[in-house]
A and B are shown apart, each in its own frame.
Chain A
Amino acid sequence: MADLVSHPDEVKVVTRRFGQGATDIDRYLELDGYKAVRKAIGMDADAIINEVKNSGLRGRGGAGFSTGMKWSFVPKQSAKPKYVLCNGDESEPGTCKDRLIFEHDPHAVIEGVMIGGLAVGARSGYIYIRGEYRYLSVIMQKAIRDAYAKGFLGKNIFGSGKDFDIFWHGGAGAYEVGEESALMESLEGKRGIPRIRPPFPAVVGLWGGPTVINNAETLASVPHIMLGGAEWYAKLGPPKNGGTRLFCLSGNVAKPGVYELPMGYSLKKMIYEVGGGIPNGRKLKAVVPGGSSTPCLTADEIDINMDFDSVAKAGSMLGSGGVVVIDDAQCMVKFALRTMKFYQHESCGWCIPCREGTDWLKKTLVRFHSGGGVKKDIDNMQYLSENMLGRTFCPLGDAAAMPTIAFVKKFRKEFEDHLEGRPCPFEKAGVAEPVMA
């Protein structure tokens, strides 16, 4: 069970019920549980979609696409059943927020899936949880059973004449399955290889039926929007970036933890006030602002607001909310190598630029970090990364290339310091050999 933290600047919306025993369905009901779905049942499907659109809610998985817009793409009529799929495959390095949502407020996710179902005319939903989160699957399975026992799921929900089923599903270790089309493949019992689009999942998704896929945090936000109203939610953040965000603060900060802050919160304040600054008398070197796939920002670039548009303007991405703080004792070449080792391991090998690109980049970085680098490797790494961009079926290739380009561009001097057989200037005493050979 992960520790909870708090800070006075937090605005608790999604985390409102954390630490309050809301996994228990009766306690959840005391805390305004299942009121939002009851309200949604009395609404027209288009009215639900408009409410979510107007709230400015954007996908919390990383892409930041308007949730209401996504829902509106699902055709009204469909010969095949429609589905809602909750993406709880959380695996982007630096991200550990969905874990807390499942642990503390599983019914909010269930409610979000139900509201999504009412909005798009689906009658079943699936909640996919990564295999490593076994204890959360246990919590979620119980929550679903309890909701059925109360008659909230199944036939004729809340006397509406509508049926809705929710099923739990588990993964078995795969980052790429967090990508929406690979997620569907995995749920269908296959290797998680991405599908070519179009057609998009909203039209042809799970088992060929129209499917809405949303991140767990996105869906857990929906009931609060239904109860508090689109206007209230939108005003929590800057224009077009409604609501709050669960920021997973990790790395070299004094007080790491998952904090719920308003969208648009200052990154500088997040590191130095909420996170308590850099410990051990060290200085800030860089920040990865939204999970390992987002280009890093240097210490001089942190005077920005953490909303989708501001971070994009600064040349990076808000991503999945994983803020990884890096101090000046860390080697950026090693950091780049560890990042690439991850993407090389997780590439499914379907698209050649990603399969070959991640492998070559990893090999180059391993050689480079151990002192075997030559000057032209630096430009080659950048050239190779640039040639992966936009050339794959799913964004894993981009996710590997984008941070690498930023590491090489922004920390070129550190790369040069490793040249000509010089030992890594940051290698810690006592660490004799690199783990990743």
Chain B
Amino acid sequence: MRFSEEFEARFAEMVPHYPTKRSALVPTLLYAQDEIGFLSDEVIAELAGRLDLTELEVRNVISYYSMLTTKPRGKFNVQVCTNISCLVRGGEEILQHCEKKLGVRHKGTTADGLFSLEEVECIGACSWAPAAQVNYDFHENLTVEKIDKVLEEYKHEPTR
């Protein structure tokens, strides 16, 4: 199991910040997922070993956090917020438009593996609603036309 040098540097820096090793688990899982795409059996075994945990303990933590996933998803994860501030400004229409455009529903992935779609809870963009995140990038004050353009741009973006 090999992670990037950047991951290793961050991991080595982070662990001594805490009195217990496992404290580094949650952010480490997210960084691992960002690199590998999902939390595979191999990643889970590796991190459990490094942090002196059982694999079960790691899986228990993973299942609690909504950003963590043990299933592969698309290169670009389109997360549309439909919570209250987005709801009253058309968040559902944005989500339905994405469903139609990508041909997938909640937690689905396009056949080419490029996009996944997710209906998410509040992402902290309430004053700029409706909003979505593609991976970690915020896209705000959305309209159907604007989200079309956003998806089009990612389609042509070569890297993650």
Interface residues of A (CB under 8 A from B): 1-3, 81, 90-96, 98-99, 130-135, 167, 169-175, 186-192, 207, 248-252, 256-258, 288, 292, 322, 324-327, 330, 334-335, 338-339, 342, 345-346, 348, 430-431, 435-436
Q: Verify if B122 is at the interface (C-beta below 8 Å from A).
A: yes
Scan B121-160; emit 1 where CB is below 8 A from any A CB, else 0: 1111111110001001010100000000000000000000
Identify which of B18, B24, B89, B92 contacts A435 (C-beta below 8 A). Answer: B92
Identify which of B17, B124, B136 contacts A99 (C-beta below 8 A). Answer: B124
Interface residues of B (CB under 8 A from A): 17-20, 22-27, 29-30, 51, 60-61, 63-68, 82-85, 87-89, 92-93, 95-96, 119, 121-129, 133, 136, 138, 140
- The CA of A22 and the CA of B93, in the complex, are separated in Å by 38
**How far is the CB of A410 from the nearest CB of chain B, in Å?**
16
A132 close to B25 (CB less than 8 A): no
B124 close to A90 (CB less than 8 A): yes
**How far is the CB of B114 from the nearest CB of chain A, in Å?**
21
B96 close to A342 (CB less than 8 A): no
Residue of A nearest to B21 (CB): A189
A207 close to B20 (CB less than 8 A): yes
A133 close to B66 (CB less than 8 A): no
Residue of A nearest to B67 (CB): A173
B95 close to A256 (CB less than 8 A): no
A335 close to B30 (CB less than 8 A): no
Q: A91-B122, A252-B88, A431-B93 are in contact. Are A258 and B20 (CB under 8 A)?
A: no
Residues on B with beta carbons closer than 8 Å to the beta carbon of A251: 84-85, 88-89, 129
A172 close to B27 (CB less than 8 A): yes
A91 close to B61 (CB less than 8 A): no
Residues on B with beta carbons closer than 8 Å to the beta carbon of A430: 93
Residues on B with beta carbons closer than 8 Å to the beta carbon of A186: 26
User: Which of A132, A322, A346, A431 has the most C-beta atoms of chain B within 10 angstroms of its own C-beta?
Assistant: A132
- The CA of A204 and the CA of B152, in the complex, are separated in Å by 51
**How far is the CB of A330 from the nearest CB of chain B, in Å?**
5
Residues on A with beta carbons closer than 8 Å to the beta carbon of B26: 131, 169-172, 186, 189
A435 close to B30 (CB less than 8 A): no
Residues on B with beta carbons closer than 8 Å to the beta carbon of A191: 60-61, 63-64
A131 close to B126 (CB less than 8 A): no
A188 close to B85 (CB less than 8 A): no
Residues on B with beta carbons closer than 8 Å to the beta carbon of A248: 126-127
- Which 9 A-B pairs give the minimum distances between C-beta atoms? A173-B67, A189-B25, A189-B22, A173-B66, A172-B65, A134-B136, A250-B85, A170-B27, A250-B126
- The CA of A188 and the CA of B57, in the complex, are separated in Å by 13
A330 close to B88 (CB less than 8 A): yes
Residues on B with beta carbons closer than 8 Å to the beta carbon of A330: 88
Residues on B with beta carbons closer than 8 Å to the beta carbon of A134: 136
Identify which of A93, A169, A249, A346 contacts B27 (C-beta below 8 A). Answer: A169
B92 close to A256 (CB less than 8 A): no
A174 close to B84 (CB less than 8 A): no
Residue of B nearest to A329 (CB): B88
- The CA of A83 and the CA of B48, in the complex, are separated in Å by 27
A132 close to B124 (CB less than 8 A): yes
A250 close to B20 (CB less than 8 A): no
Q: A2-B138, A131-B30, A172-B68 are in contact. Are A189 and B61 (CB under 8 A)?
A: yes
- The CA of A330 and the CA of B86, in the complex, are separated in Å by 12
Q: A171-B26, A191-B64 are in contact. Are A93 and B121 (CB under 8 A)?
A: yes
**How far is the CB of A126 from the nearest CB of chain B, in Å?**
8
Identify which of A90, A192, A346 contacts B121 (C-beta below 8 A). Answer: A346
A207 close to B19 (CB less than 8 A): yes
B121 close to A258 (CB less than 8 A): no
A175 close to B87 (CB less than 8 A): no
- The CA of A250 and the CA of B25, in the complex, are separated in Å by 35
**How far is the CB of A360 from the nearest CB of chain B, in Å?**
20
A132 close to B133 (CB less than 8 A): yes
Residue of A nearest to B34 (CB): A134
B83 close to A172 (CB less than 8 A): no
Residues on A with beta carbons closer than 8 Å to the beta carbon of B51: 189
B88 close to A91 (CB less than 8 A): no
Other A-B pairs, 20, CB within 8 Å; known A131-B27, A324-B85: A2-B125, A3-B140, A92-B122, A95-B124, A169-B26, A170-B27, A172-B26, A172-B66, A173-B66, A188-B23, A189-B51, A191-B60, A191-B64, A207-B19, A248-B126, A252-B88, A256-B126, A338-B82, A338-B83, A339-B84
16 residue pairs from A and B, CB less than 8 Å apart: A2-B138, A96-B124, A96-B126, A131-B30, A167-B17, A167-B18, A172-B29, A174-B64, A189-B22, A191-B64, A256-B127, A292-B122, A324-B84, A324-B126, A335-B84, A430-B93
